[in-house]
Amino acid sequence: MLTNLQTRDVETLVHPYTNLDTHRRVGPLVLERGKGVYLYDTEGKPYLEGMAGLWCTSLGYGNEELVETAREQMMKLPFTHLFGGKSHDPAIELAEKLKEMAPIPVSKVFFGASGSDANDTQIKLVWYYNNALGRPKKKKIIARLKGYHGVTIASASLTGLPNNHIDFDLPIQNILHTSCPHHYRFGMEGETEEEFATRLAHELEELILKEGPETVAAFIAEPVGGAGGVITPPKGYYEKIQPVLKKYDVLFIADEVITGFGRLGTMFGSSTMNMQPHTMSLAKAITSAYFPLSAVLIPDFMYEAMIDESKKIGVFGHGFTYSGHPVGTAIGVKTMEIYQRDNIVGHVQKLIPLFWKHLDALREHPLVGEVRGKGLVAGLEIVADKASKKSFEAKQAIGAKLNMMAQEEGLIVRNMGDTVAVCPPLVISEGEIEELFAKLGKAFDRAEAYVRAEGLRG
């Protein structure tokens, strides 16, 4: 029986990434408030937030400094825009801070409102840049299968997941996909991780040559994957990929929407993974998700081309109403201050051994085929048989059932098919990590009991 709030939800909302038919029967989990690493539903039941919202609430809930910063900015200047040469101090200050913090040379910062629009902007800037250089054919952008880059028409085309393409008539023209760097699933029999990485670099080069280097403009990658299943490239992967990109003058875009601002144990995931991209997309933890905000970090050579084109055309014809929103950028400035003042990266580094101690213990669970990730983000892949890596049938929905069992235990995680993701707020304590894995362990044990009772292993 649905509550009044649940019924109102079912009758009014379309939920992203939800089976809309099932949702009409079971209704939503209605959350009312949050504090620290906990959320509370309308009945007052607490849930340990094991997913930092959607990989984003890095400083947890109820951070009074961020709330007060938003209040003060709303009182002072709740909105203005950056169109037509207008500006304001919070946008300028945050752009300065991001230039200072970035691990790559940055000339300018373009603000948006989401990771999707940041990656959409990346595509447009790459095309704009190559037109400015008189290379109208150099427009193709290579992403990876199982990569995730957003859900606008262009960014969803970059995303390498079938459910983001099926019946949406995607991907669009000029978007290509190369192999997924997941050794557990796609490595050949007896192939080492290094050999696998070498093969993927060769496959990328073969794709560029097949399409024609004069037509391939950019390659985009997450340092460590997120919604595609926390795909973690093998050691040496980026070291082998990057010379191929350089050889054929292909720009390298780092999608740091999930990995930016400490998640992997460095301020940016590119540093952890030995990446040297030309440009970056940032969002999510840029405001600890307290306000929708994204940023594209633009190198000088690209900015110079943008100047030339806008001079020729008369205007740089791109931007959003909320580009550089004063409230969002003010929160972003305060968020950067907290990261640095409280040494959030150092805190994450101290937690990583405990986090992975518990993950390593779960590797032995009969349902777990692989544990992958870096820093404070991990994916646990559920399998029917550990030896053969055999998966359960999709219709059995074991990942979804385990996800619901975790919720019943008072833990929020997220399943992407039969991979369960864990991505807690960066401010989580050691005791809260212990609690997280105690609840997750119970959920895995309950799921294993269900599999045995139903005879699902065949």
Which domains does the chain possess? 4-62+343-454 (3.90.1150.10), 66-341 (3.40.640.10)
Cβ atoms of 359 and 276 closer than 8 Å: no
Backbone φ, ψ for residue 73 (5° rounding):
-70, -35
Q: Integer distance in angstroms from the first to the last C-alpha of the chain?
A: 34
Contacts of 445 (CB under 8 A, 6+ apart): 365
Cβ atoms of 419 and 374 closer than 8 Å: no
The whole-angstrom separation of Cα 41 and Cα 283 is 27
CA-nearest of 199, 202, 210 to 140 is 210
What percent of the chain clears pLDDT 90, i.e. is strictly above it?
Answer: 98
pLDDT tens-digit profile of 274-312?
Answer: 999 999 999 999 999 999 999 999 999 999 999 999 999
pLDDT band at 1 (very low <50, low <70, confident <90, very high): confident
pLDDT band at 458 (very low <50, low <70, confident <90, very high): low
pLDDT tens-digit profile of 168-186?
Answer: 999 999 999 999 999 999 9
pLDDT tens-digit profile of 206-247?
Answer: 999 999 999 999 999 999 999 999 999 999 999 999 999 999
Average pLDDT along the chain: 97
pLDDT band at 436 (very low <50, low <70, confident <90, very high): very high
Tokens representing 122?
A: 């990346």
Beta strands in 3-81 (DSSP E): 31-35, 38-41, 46-49
Residue 200 has pLDDT above 70, yes or no: yes
The whole-angstrom separation of Cα 43 and Cα 157 is 40
Q: Residue 115: its pLDDT value, please?
A: 98
In three-state secondary structure terms, 42 is coil
pLDDT band at 457 (very low <50, low <70, confident <90, very high): confident
The whole-angstrom separation of Cα 160 and Cα 171 is 9
The whole-angstrom separation of Cα 385 and Cα 398 is 13
The whole-angstrom separation of Cα 308 and Cα 173 is 26
pLDDT tens-digit profile of 97-116?
Answer: 999 999 999 999 999 999 99
Tokens representing 319?
A: 């931007």
